[in-house]
Structure 1
Amino acid sequence: MLLIRAIVRPEKASIVMKSLFDAGFPSVTKMAVYGRGKQRGLKVGEITYDELTKTMLMIVVNDADKDVVVQTILESARTAP
Structure 2
Amino acid sequence: MTSEELADYVTDFIGECRSRILGVGAEQYSCGEMQKFELLPLVDLIRYAREEAQDLAVYAAMVDIRLSRLEAALRAHPSTA
TM-score, normalization by structure 1: 0.29
Q: Which has the higher helix share?
A: 2
TM-score, length basis structure 2: 0.29
